[in-house]
Amino acid sequence: MSMDARTIRLVMALRRAGVTDTRVCGAIERIPRDLFVPHHFQDKAYENTALPIGCHQTLSAPIVVGMMTQALDVGERMKVLEIGTGSGYHAAVLSRLCRRVYSIERYRDLQKEAEQRFARLGLHNITTKVGDGTFGWPEQAPFERIVITAAANDVPPLLGNQLAIGGLMVLPIDDGGGQQRLWRVRRTVDGFDTDDMGEIRFVPLIAEPGL
């Protein structure tokens, strides 16, 4: 099956699963997922499954990327903060939808590899750094959108403070008993409104300096 056919099949599967936003589907269609997958998993690059990428991290399944991105409701003039660059795939998808993506990765090796992929694809509106994602990126705040790709116990307070009034954050929350739920959080003048979007599974959010 050709690369184009594999991409089309993936996008059709995402639409059937509920990713119906045409801008999100278009962004996923334009980003070659095989570029973000380790060589020995190339045969699974366009399957709807999570894949290991090293440093005990994973590349999320396409349906997770699609649903989280759709929930963010990203506009083309927006500034987006991503916590957990990983392979760079989600940041690449987001870069097709917004003005600029700022992405923080804990592992320097993953950050360097992601930067190389962005350069290869000519994605010049993504800025990354190595660090503790729970601190966010205060120099660039506020952000209209924040996405966290690791499970927290609650909305990280520093990240909540960096979300613009009216802005949205999408993140997995661990209830402490091993269950994770995907939350969409909107910041209001009075605090935060939350929507539970269902079960999810991510690696834990670690509050430590980058490695």
For 55-88, the DSSP string reads: TTEEEPPHHHHHHHHHHHT--TT-EEEEE--TTS
Evaluate whether residue 97 is within a structural domain. Answer: yes
Contact 65, 82 (CB under 8 A): no
Evaluate whether residue 205 is within a structural domain. Answer: no
| Residues forming the active site | 60
Partners of 130 in the β-ladder: 105
Evaluate whether residue 158 is within a structural domain. Answer: yes
Q: What percent of the chain has pLDDT over 70?
A: 96
Evaluate whether residue 207 is within a structural domain. Answer: no
Contact 139, 118 (CB under 8 A): no
What mean pLDDT is reported for the chain?
93
Other beta carbons within 10 Å of 88? 30
Evaluate whether residue 77 is within a structural domain. Answer: yes
pLDDT at 211 (0 to 100): 64
Q: Domain of 63?
A: 3-199
| Alpha-carbon gap, residue 126 to 102, rounded angstroms | 6
- Asked if residue 200 has pLDDT above 90, the reply is no
Evaluate whether residue 16 is within a structural domain. Answer: yes
Residue 27 per-residue DSSP state = H
The radius of gyration of the chain's CA atoms, rounded to the nearest angstrom, is 16
pTM for the full predicted model: 0.93
For 112-123, the DSSP string reads: HHHHHHHHHHT-
Confidence class of residue 11 from pLDDT cuts 50, 70 and 90? very high
What phi and psi, each to the nearest 5 degrees, are found at residue 179?
-100, 135
Q: Give the model confidence (pLDDT) of 75-101 as tens digits.
A: 999 999 999 999 999 999 999 999 999
- Strand arrangement, sheet containing 79-83: 126-130, 100-105, 79-83, 143-148, 163-174, 180-188, 191-199
In CATH, what number is assigned to the domain containing residue 77? 3.40.50.150
| Alpha-carbon gap, residue 186 to 183, rounded angstroms | 10
Evaluate whether residue 160 is within a structural domain. Answer: yes
Total tally of structural domains belonging to the chain: 1
Evaluated on CA atoms 83, 86, 87, 90, the torsion sign reads negative
| Alpha-carbon gap, residue 25 to 102, rounded angstroms | 21
Q: Give the model confidence (pLDDT) of 141-172 as tens digits.
A: 999 999 999 888 899 999 999 999 999 999 99
Evaluate whether residue 206 is within a structural domain. Answer: no
